[in-house]
Structure formats: C-alpha cells, structure tokens
Amino acid sequence: MDIPKDLKYTESDEWVRVEGDTATTGISDYAQDQLSDIVYVEHVVEEGDTVAQGEPHSAVESVKAAADVYMPVGGKIIAINENLESSPELVNTDPYGEAWLVKFEISDASELEDLMDAAAYEKYCEEREH
C-alpha cells in the first residue's frame, strides 16, 4: 500500500496535497484497491464552485461499488481532471499522480488540522484490514 508522506488523508480515504493556498485531491491507493477496477469517474462540481469540507466533488464507480469522493477541506474549485472521464483506470494505476480529481483554493487552512498524516492514515488502514 502506497501512502506518500507529503500528503494529508481523510477517514473517507481522500488525499490532499497542499501547495501554498491551493490544493489537489484524489482517492488513496487504499481506496482504489478496495474499490477494485475503476470504470467510471464523474465530477459533480464545476470550476468556480465553492465546496464545503466533507461535501462530494466527484463520484467513482468500479466493478464492485460506487463511491462519492469528498472535499478534504473546503475551497473553490480551480481545475477538474477531465482526463479521467475517458481514462478512469488511471485511478487504479496512478492514484496520487495522473488520477488527481480536483484542484482548489483552500478556504480555511485550519481545516487541514482535522486530517491525518501518512503515519496515522497507515495505522487507520491497517485497523480496517482486521
């Protein structure tokens, strides 16, 4: 299981990469592994939308299940990864790179304190394995 150390994580298996006052988010390696083969990605927001922490911004569908993907922290959507509509399998092969879902301007940086670091997320994933 790949858990990059430079990211923050949510209990609903989203990751966030913070760069100044902007951030990129997607679903974790653990989440894509649990979902299995991703066959469809849908964005439920548009550029310019402001989305609160915990609100859905996308949905992913696999051969096993469908899942909403939530904002790790609130913000204004500045980019949507349109490539995933034609290549949803990128979520399985490169969850932290090419398969980012949305980029956004962070509304309230203090919300980042609610998230787990890599070590805490790894422990959280291991606890759910048993």
Residue ranges of domains in the chain: 8-125
Q: Tell if the pTM clears 0.85, that is, is over it.
A: yes
So what CATH class is 8-125? mainly beta
Residue with tokens 């980012």: 100
pLDDT per residue, tens digit, the chain (130 aa), is 899 999 999 999 999 999 999 999 999 999 999 999 999 999 999 999 999 999 999 999 999 999 999 999 999 999 999 999 999 999 999 999 999 999 999 999 999 999 999 999 999 999 998 7
CA separation for the pair 82, 80 (Å, rounded)? 6
Q: What residues pair up with 47 in beta bridges, in sequence order? A: none
Tell me the HSE value of 34 on the side-chain side, using a 13 A CA sphere.
Answer: 15
Cβ 42 vs Cβ 49: under 8 Å: no
